């Protein structure tokens, strides 16, 4: 910096000396360059503003109109800064060309013009760029303040509630869906506050669409970022529970009475507001959705109960295809005492190996997913399920659970009772495992 100032000073002195020597052509060259340099910044500015660099297209490739006072104003400032130099050099070349065209080349005048254009050009460049910077910054400040307020408020809410979405088609979990403009079909991959607008943006087709999370609209539809199938987006925390067990062990019966108890007895006891949303039919099973809300919650919970066909646990590859195991919050392992213990052990082994592979958990580490082990089809309930299981020859099952999972609990159950004709809701066999797994899956569901 100091170096540059000294250089400039020396040049200025040199010019003064030249002028003092009274060389009229040099004086005129200096004056000319001065007046030219007053305007070159604006020429460069005009050039930059009309220009889109390749970089720009790659960084911001949403099909929407970019707002000027977000990023673009500073890109223009930067481009103008670098273009001024080129414009000034062009002026020198122009003068040279004119001299050659006329056949009268004055080297002294040309040199003086070149030097003073360099000096004045840079002086004006610094002054103008500074003013330019101030102007765009002052105009942009309210925008940025608004942007950060919105972003922070939404960010806190989303982070606290762990809000996200689960695709029921491909089982992928995602934060932000892609949105399709209904009018033109273009895909907006980041429909969030940013360079295209803070609360809304304008699609290249001209349709104004609100940013995600702000207001619902029928101008866009949400699609899964992975499989591009249409998805429903909710401002809730997904809680995913998978029910595991061989065919006919009572998984579906368990889930049906569990959901019943959750909607009635459990939500009454816990002061929750539980609503059945829907049952999603899949080719390999069903996914039950239940909303759970409470004034005490930071966000609404959306329960996903995966009831996958028992056959899907017959081999490791089928288990690994159930991609929700990547993020599952809780497991319910159903044991049917009428099934050979050997078979149950086998299934458990396969399941544990598959889980470890999906989640990449080393053998010396516990699997950090809570698991409720439910011994089903018990007519006379016993308080000590581990004893019961031991008597049935299930000690290796207990040991495996104990060796592999951080958090587990044993329950016994009779899932026929609640869905049989008598509808004995007074016997809440499923209540304990359901309450336990929910409390383990999410702190707020204690």
Minimum gap (Å) between residue 263 Cβ and ligand GDP = 18
CA pair distance 170, 235, nearest whole angstrom: 20
Q: ∠ at Cα 155 (202, 211), nearest 5°?
A: 15
Minimum gap (Å) between residue 288 Cβ and Mg ion = 12
Binding mask 196-215 for Zn ion (x = CB under 5 A): -------x-x-x--------
Residue of 249, 404, 412, 442 interacting with ligand GDP (CB under 6 A): 249
Number of residues forming the site for Zn ion (CB under 5 A):
14
CA pair distance 352, 334, nearest whole angstrom: 14
Selected range binding Zn ion among 34-42, 69-77, 186-194, 431-439, rule: CB under 5 A: 186-194
CA pair distance 365, 356, nearest whole angstrom: 9
| By CB under 6 A, residue 257 contacts ligand GDP | no
| By CB under 6 A, residue 285 contacts ligand GDP | no
Minimum gap (Å) between residue 307 Cβ and ligand GDP = 7
CA pair distance 66, 201, nearest whole angstrom: 8
Among residues 310 and 370, whose Cβ is nearest to ligand GDP? 310
Among residues 153 and 427, whose Cβ is nearest to ligand GDP? 427
Residues in 400-429 at the binding interface with ligand GDP, rule: CB under 6 A: 414-416
224, interface contact from Mg ion, ligand GDP, Zn ion, none, CB < 5-8 Å by kind: Zn ion
Q: Which of 112, 87, 81 is nearest to 19 (CA)?
A: 112
Among residues 212 and 372, whose Cβ is nearest to ligand GDP? 372
Minimum gap (Å) between residue 386 Cβ and Mg ion = 26
Q: Are 331 and 382 in contact (CB under 8 A)?
A: no
Exposure string of 120-137, with b = 16+ CB inside 10 Å and e = fewer, is bbbebbeebbeebeeebe
Q: Can you read off the two tokens belonging to residue 66?
A: 């970019």
**Binding interface with Mg ion (CB under 5 A):** 251-252
Residues in 362-381 at the binding interface with ligand GDP, rule: CB under 6 A: 376-377
Residues in 290-329 at the binding interface with ligand GDP, rule: CB under 6 A: 310
Q: Can you read off the two tokens belonging to residue 319?
A: 């288990």
| By CB under 5 A, residue 183 contacts Zn ion | yes
Instruction: Tell me how far CA of residue 93 lies from CA of 11, 89, 118, 176, in angstroms.
Output: 20, 6, 13, 54
Minimum gap (Å) between residue 360 Cβ and ligand GDP = 29
Instruction: Report which DSSP code applies to 194.
Output: B
Q: Are 366 and 404 in contact (CB under 8 A)?
A: yes
Among residues 188 and 251, whose Cβ is nearest to Mg ion? 251
Instruction: Tell me how far CA of residue 149 lies from CA of 133, 141, 199, in angstroms.
Output: 23, 12, 12
Q: Can you read off the two tokens belonging to residue 366?
A: 């516990």
CA pair distance 211, 178, nearest whole angstrom: 11
Minimum gap (Å) between residue 224 Cβ and Zn ion = 3
Among residues 67 and 251, whose Cβ is nearest to ligand GDP? 251
Binding mask 138-167 for Zn ion (x = CB under 5 A): -----------------------------x
Among residues 168 and 417, whose Cβ is nearest to ligand GDP? 417
Q: How many CB atoms lie within 10 A of CB 289?
A: 20
Minimum gap (Å) between residue 182 Cβ and Zn ion = 8
Strands (E), 175-313: 178-181, 187-188, 200-202, 208-210, 220-223, 236-244, 273-282, 285-293, 300-308
Minimum gap (Å) between residue 310 Cβ and Mg ion = 7
Angle at which helices 2-20 and 107-161 cross, to 10°: 150
Minimum gap (Å) between residue 386 Cβ and ligand GDP = 19
CA pair distance 95, 109, nearest whole angstrom: 10
| By CB under 6 A, residue 242 contacts ligand GDP | no
Q: Please give the distance of CA 166 from its chain centroid, rounded to a whole number.
A: 13
Selected range binding ligand GDP among 81-89, 225-233, 246-254, 319-327, rule: CB under 6 A: 246-254
CA pair distance 332, 79, nearest whole angstrom: 60
Q: Which of 158, 159, 84 is nearest to 120 (CA)?
A: 84
248, interface contact from Zn ion, ligand GDP, Mg ion, none, CB < 5-8 Å by kind: ligand GDP
Among residues 254 and 405, whose Cβ is nearest to Mg ion? 254
| By CB under 6 A, residue 250 contacts ligand GDP | yes
169, interface contact from Mg ion, Zn ion, ligand GDP, none, CB < 5-8 Å by kind: Zn ion
| Contact footprint for ligand GDP (CB under 6 A) | 245, 247-253, 310, 376-377, 414-416
| Contact footprint for Zn ion (CB under 5 A) | 167, 169-170, 172, 181, 183-184, 186, 203, 205, 207, 224, 226-227
């Amino acid at each position: 910096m100091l170096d540059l100032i000294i250089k400039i000073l020396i040049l200025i002195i040199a010019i003064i000396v030249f002028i003092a020597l009274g060389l009229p052509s040099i004086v005129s060259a200096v004056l000319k360059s001065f007046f030219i340099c007053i305007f070159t910044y604006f020429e460069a500015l005009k050039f930059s503003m009309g220009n889109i660099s390749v970089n720009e297209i790659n960084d911001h490739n949403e099909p929407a109109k970019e707002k000027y006072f977000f990023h673009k104003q500073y890109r223009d400032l930067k481009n103008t800064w670098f273009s001024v130099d080129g414009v000034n050099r062009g002026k020198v070349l122009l003068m040279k060309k004119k001299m050659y065209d006329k056949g009268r080349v004055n080297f002294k005048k040309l040199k003086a013009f070149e030097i003073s254009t360099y000096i004045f050009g840079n002086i004006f460049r610094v002054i103008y760029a500074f003013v330019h910077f101030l102007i765009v910054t002052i105009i942009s400040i309210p925008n940025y303040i608004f942007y950060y307020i919105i972003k922070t408020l939404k960010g806190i809410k989303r982070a606290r509630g762990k809000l996200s979405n689960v695709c029921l088609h491909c089982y992928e979990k995602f934060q932000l869906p892609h949105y399709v403009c209904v009018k033109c079909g273009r895909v907006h991959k980041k429909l969030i506050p940013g360079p295209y607008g803070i609360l809304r943006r304008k699609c290249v087709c001209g349709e104004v669409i609100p940013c995600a999370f702000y207001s619902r609209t029928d101008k866009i539809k949400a699609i899964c970022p992975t499989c591009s199938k249409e998805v429903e987006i909710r401002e809730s925390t997904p809680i995913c529970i998978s029910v595991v067990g061989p065919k006919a062990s009572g998984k579906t019966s368990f889930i049906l009475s569990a959901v019943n108890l959750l909607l009635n007895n459990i939500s009454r006891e816990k002061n929750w507001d539980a609503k059945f949303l829907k049952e999603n039919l899949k080719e390999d099973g069903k996914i039950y959705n239940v909303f759970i809300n409470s004034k005490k919650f930071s966000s609404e919970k959306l329960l996903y109960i995966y009831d996958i066909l028992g056959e899907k646990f017959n081999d490791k590859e089928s288990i690994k295809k159930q991609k929700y195991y990547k993020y599952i919050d809780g497991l319910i392992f159903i044991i049917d005492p009428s099934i050979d213990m050997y078979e149950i052990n086998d299934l458990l082994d396969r399941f544990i190996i598959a889980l470890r592979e999906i989640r990449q958990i080393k053998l010396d580490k516990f699997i950090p997913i809570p698991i409720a082990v439910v011994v089903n089809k018990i007519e006379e309930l016993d308080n000590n399920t581990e004893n019961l299981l031991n008597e049935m020859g299930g000690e290796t099952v207990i040991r495996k659970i104990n060796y592999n999972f951080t958090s587990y609990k044993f329950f016994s159950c009779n899932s026929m009772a609640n869905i049989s004709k008598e509808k004995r809701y007074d016997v809440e066999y499923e209540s304990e495992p359901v309450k336990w797994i929910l409390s383990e899956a999410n702190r707020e569901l204690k």
